[in-house]
Structure 1
Amino acid sequence: MTVMGKLHGLAMAGVVALTAGAAQAEPVKFEFWYGLTGDLSERIQDMCRTFNEGQDKYEAVCVSQGTYDAAIQNAIAAFRAKKHPTVLQVFDAGTADLMLSGAFVPAPELMEKAGYDVNWDDYFKGIANYYATSGGELYSFPFNSSTAVLYWNKDAFAKIGKTEAPETYEEVEEAARALKAAGYSCPYAYDVDPWQFMEQFSAVHNLPIATKNNGYDGLDAELVVNTTKFVDHVDFFKRMTDEGLFQLKEYGQARLQSFMSGECMMMQSSIADHGTVGKTIPQGTNWDVAMVPVWAGTERKNSLVGGASLWALAGKPQEEYDAAAAFFSFIAKPEQAEWWSTVTGYIPVTNSGFEYMKSQGFYDKAPYKGRETAIQSLTYTPPGPNSRGLRLGGYVQIRKEFRDSLTAIMAGDVGVQEGVDAAVERGNAILRRFEKTYPGKQFP
C-alpha cells in the first residue's frame, strides 16, 4: 500500500473511532442526595434506575444520607468544599434555612433555562405554598408529600356500636371511654412529634404558631402557641393519658406498631404510613383513615403538608442543571406519580397526577382506598395565614424544644402551661439567633 493509502486508512480509522466515541459518549452524571432509609430508600433507587434506563443522555447518582438532618448537614459541609450534590432533598422544617442561604437555583429558572414549560399552577396550593415565596413562586419541587390523618380500627368501633370515625375530639374521648369499657387497654396511641401534635392541630383550627403570619412576613417573628387553644389541647391529652384512655408511644415506630399489632385502636399518623399499615396489620382486620379531628364548633381549615421538596443547589455546570431538569420533569409525570404513591403511600403533588390516578381507579383498589383523604384534607380550604405553613428559621431545633417539653408535660415533670411557655421561650431564643445570622434580610 502507498504512503498516501496508509494515511487515508489511518484517517478513516480515526473518523470511525471518533464516531464510535460520540455514539458511546458518557451520560452527564449528577448527584441526588436524600434523607430516607430502608424501604423508602430502595424505592428512590428504583426511581433513579427507571430514569437512567429510560434515556441515555443523563445519569442520576442517588445517594442516601441516612436522615433529613444528615442530608442537610452533609450538604452544607460538601458545599463549602465545592463537592455538593446537584439535587438535595430538604424536609419541610429546613425550607426557611435554604431560602435565605442563596445556595440554590430557583425551580422556575432551572426549568426555563433547560427548555421546559412547567404549569406551576398544577401543584396543589396546600402543598406548593409551604415551599413557595410570599408571592407564590416555587423555589423547589414538592416531592414526597403527606399530611396527618386519623387511623382507626373499624372492628373495635363496631363492638361499641360505632360505624364512623370520630370527627371531633369530644367524639374521640367518647369513643375512647367506650373502647376502654369494652376491654381495650389502649384506645388511642399518640406521640408528641410537633408536626403531628402541634402544627397540624394549629393549621386545621386556624391558630397561629408565630407572629408575622407564622414567620412569612419577617425574621423577627415570635412564637405565640402558648397563648392559643393549643394549651387546652395539651391539657386534654395530659388528662386522657392520666386516665389511661390515651397512651404516649414515643420515638421510632412505637405508635405505628401499637396500631398495627392491634394493641391500640386509634392513632394520628402520616398518610405515608398507609402502605406500611396495609402490609403489616393482620389480614382481615378492618381499618380505615379519616381527617384528623377538630374541637366541636371549629371552622375547619386545610391541614399542612409534610415530607420534603427537591432543591437544585448552586455552583454546578449548566449540563448538570439540564440533567436535573430532565429528572424533575420525569418525576412530575402522572404515571410516575401513580407509581410513587403505589410503592410508598405518599400522595400526588399535582392536580393532574391526582386526576390521572382517579381515572385509573387507583383509589378504588383495596390497598390504596382511603389515601384520597389526605388530598381532601390538604385542599379542604384554600391555604390561609395560619394554614399555609411555617417560615421560621432554625425550626429543626425549635421542634426538638417542643418535643422535649411536651414529653416532660405528659410525664408529669412540669405543668402544662409552664412546659409550653418554656418551649416558646427557648424557641424564641433560637429565632433571635437565626435573625442575627441574616441581619437585614427578609424571606422572599
Structure 2
Amino acid sequence: MTRNWLLTAAISAGAVALASAPALAAPTKFEFWYGLSGDLSERVQEMCGDFNKSQADYEIVCTSQDDYDTNLQNTIAAYRANKQPTIAQIHDAGTLDLMLSGAYMPVGQLMKENGYDIDWTNYFSGIASYFSTSKGELLSMPFNSSTAMIYYNTDALAKVGFTGVPQTWEEVEDVATKMKAAGYDCPVAFDPTGGVWQWFEQFSAIHNQPIATEGNGFGGLDAELVFNKGKFVDQLTWIKKMYDAGLFVNKSKASGETANDAFEHGHCQITSSSVADHGTFSKLADPTVHWQVAMLPVWAGTERKNSLVGGASLWTLKGKTAEEYKGAAAFFAFLATPKQAEWWSTVTGYIPVTNTGFEAMKAKGFYDAAPYKGRELAIQSLTFTPPTENTRGIRLGNYVQIRKEVGDAIASVLFDNVPVQQALDTAVEHGNAVLRKFEKTYQGVALP
C-alpha cells in the first residue's frame, strides 16, 4: 500500500504550486502466531513492539492462540485454507508433524536467501538437534527453549526441618509427609493431564527410560510406545499412593486453580513446571511466598541423565510473498542479537539458546543476582550428560494426541482407581494406533 502525499511548496512570493513527492511504501506486514498466554504472551507482545520500533520496513502482527496445541491445530487448518501466518511457533510435540508436512521453508534457506549469515553451530546442540534433520540441517528457529524444574517453598521446607532442597523422590515424599502433618493442606501441586511433560516425559529422560522404540522415534516412523514396561509404571504407582495420602493434590484448570497459581499464592508448597515460569513466579508470587528452584529429583541410586529440551521453535510457512519472507528473516535476525536474547531470557526464564548468549550472561553475573539465581540449573540439567537415545528428544507423529492419552491414563488412575498397569497398557494401545495411522499417512516417506 502506498500513500501519495501532496506537498505545498512556496516557489515565489505570493505563488504556490502543488508538487507530488515520491511514493512512500508502508511497512510490509506479516503475521506471527504463537501459543503462549498470560504473562508470557505479554512479553511476546512487548518483543514484537520492540521489533517494529527498531526499523521501518516491516510490521509484525503477533497473535496469541492461547496454548501450544490450539496454535498447532489452527496453523494446520489455516495452511489448508491458504490463510496461514508467515511464522508459527510450534512446540516440541508438533515438531515431527511440521517436519513431514512440507509446509515450511527451512530457516537456513530463509536467512541465506535474505542476506543473513548466522553461525548455527553457536546454538546449544541439544536444542538445535531437536529441530534439525539427521544431517544436522536446522529447519526452524530455536526460540523459547526450556526444561522442567521443581519449585519449593523454602519456608515450608524449613518448618519441617529440611535444609536445602530435596534431590531425590524419597526426600520429596519425606518432606511432603511432614508438611501434611504440620498442617499444610497441599504439600505438592499436581496437574494430572496438563503436567505430562514434566511428570512423565522428563522423568523418563533423566532416568534413561524409553518412551518408544527406535530411539523415541528418531529412528523411523515404525516406532512403538513402550512406556508401560519401564520405570514409569512404578512412578505412577507411587504418585497414586501420594495422591491417596493427600500429599499430591489435583491443581489444574479443571479443579479451579492451576498448579502454578496454587504455588504462587502459597496454597501448595511444591510444584513442577518449566524454567520459563521462573520469571512469572518472581513477578506474581505473593510477597510472603519464598521459594527456590532445583533440578527434578531422581530416585536414589539412579545415574541421572540429561533432561529434555522443551518449549518451541519458529517455523516459516510456505505460500507467502518475498517481502513477507524478508520481514521474517529480519525478525529472526533481531531475535538472534545478544541484546534481545538476554532480554528474552531475563523477562521470562527461558534459557538462552546459544553458547555465546549463555556465557555472556554468566560473565555479567546474571545468574548471581537474586531474581535470576537458579535459572542456570536448567542449562545444567539439559547438559548433565551427553544425550542417549532416550534423552535426545521425542520424535513421534501426532504426539499431541499421545500426550493426551498419557494424561487420560494418569487421571483414570488417580480419580477412577483404574489399575496402573491397565491404564498404561490402554494408553500405549491407543497411542500406537495413532502412530500407525501417522505412519500410513506418510508411507514411503523417510524421516528428514
For normalisation by structure 2, the TM-score amounts to 0.91
Partner of 2:307 in structure 1?
303
**1:242 paired to 2:244:** yes
Distance 1:296 1:370, change over 3 A: same
**Contact 2:86/2:316 (8 A) holds in 1:** yes
> Which letter maps to 1:105?
M
Tell me if the contact between 1:153 and 1:286 (Cα under 8 Å) persists in the aligned partners: yes
Aligned length: 429
Deviation at 1:184, TM superposition (A): 2.4
Structure (1/2) with the larger helix percentage: 1
Confirm or deny: 8 A CA contact 1:78 1:84 kept in the other structure.
yes
Aligned residues of 1:125 and 1:382 also touching (Cα < 8 A): no
**Contiguous gaps of at least 5 residues in structure 1:** 1-8
Match of 1:53 in 2: 53
2:73 is aligned to 73
Partner residue of 1:155? 155
Query: What is the deviation of 1:284?
Result: 4.5
1:310 deviation in Å? 0.2
Q: Which residue of 2 aligns with 1:185?
A: 185
> Superposed, which structure 2 residues align to 1:316-355 within 5 Å?
316-355=320-359
Out of 184, 189, 196, the position equivalent to 1:194 is: 196
Q: Specify whether residues 345 and 73 from structure 1 end up closer, same or farther in structure 2 by C-alpha distance, changes over 3 A only.
A: same
Q: Report what 1:251 is aligned to.
A: 253
Contact 2:264 2:289 in 1 (8 A): no
**Who is 2:362 aligned against?**
358
Q: Is the 8 A contact 2:39 2:280 kept in 1?
A: no
* Aligned twin of 2:268: 264
Distance 1:311 1:323 in 2: 14
2:360 partner SS: helix
Q: What letter matches 1:408 in structure 2?
A: S
Asked if 1 retains the 8 angstrom alpha-carbon contact of 2:265 and 2:289, the reply is no
Distance 2:78 2:191 in 1: 34
* 1:115 has 2:115 as partner: yes
Equivalent residue number for residue 138 of structure 1: 138
Secondary structure at 1:225 match in 2 = coil
Partner Cα distance (2:36, 2:96) in 1: 20
Give the CA deviation at 1:143: 1.0
SS of the residue corresponding to residue 25 of structure 2 reads coil
Partners of 1:327 and 1:399 lie apart in 2 by: 32
Structure 2 CA distance for aligned equivalents of residues 302 and 27 of structure 1: 44
CA shift, 1:285, in A, is 3.3
CA distance in 2: counterparts of 1:115 and 1:324, whole angstroms: 12
Question: Which range moved further: 207-216 or 150-159?
Answer: 150-159
One-letter amino acid of the structure 2 residue matched with residue 197 of structure 1: W
- State the Cα deviation string for residues 385-432 of structure 1 (Å, max 9, x = none): 111111100111111111111101012431010001110100001111
The residue number in structure 1 matching 2:397 is 393
Residue matched to 2:128: 128
Farther off after superposition, 430-439 or 282-291 = 282-291
Residue 274, structure 1, aligned to residue 278, structure 2: yes
- Number of the residue aligned with 1:5: none
Find the residue that maps to 1:226 and give its secondary structure: coil
- TM-score by length of structure 1 reads 0.92
Q: Work out whether 1:206 is the aligned partner of 2:208.
A: yes
In 2, are the aligned partners of 1:124 and 1:379 still within 8 Å (CA)? Answer: no
Give the letter aligned to residue 200 of structure 1.
Q
Change (3 A) 1:344 1:414: same
The amino acid across from 2:330 in the alignment is A
Partner of 2:6: none
Partner of residue 295, structure 2: 291
The match for 1:34 is 34
Work out the CA distance in 1 between the residues paired with 2:369 and 2:412: 42
Query: Quick one: distance in 2 between partners of 1:378 and 1:308?
Result: 15
Structure 1 residues 303-361: Cα deviation after superposition (integer angstroms, max 9, x where no partner):
11221110011122333222211110101112111211222222211112212222333
2:218 is matched with 216
Decide whether the 8 Å contact of 2:279 with 2:348 is kept in 1.
yes
Identical positions, percent: 60
How far residue 68 of structure 1 moved from its aligned partner, in angstroms, is 2.1
Q: CA deviation at 1:38?
A: 2.9
Stretch of structure 1 that moved more, 198-207 or 48-57: 48-57
Q: Distance in 1 between matches of 2:184 and 2:318?
A: 55
Describe the SS at the equivalent of 1:411.
helix
- Output the amino acid matched with 2:229: T
Q: What is the RMSD computed on CA atoms of the aligned residues?
A: 1.9
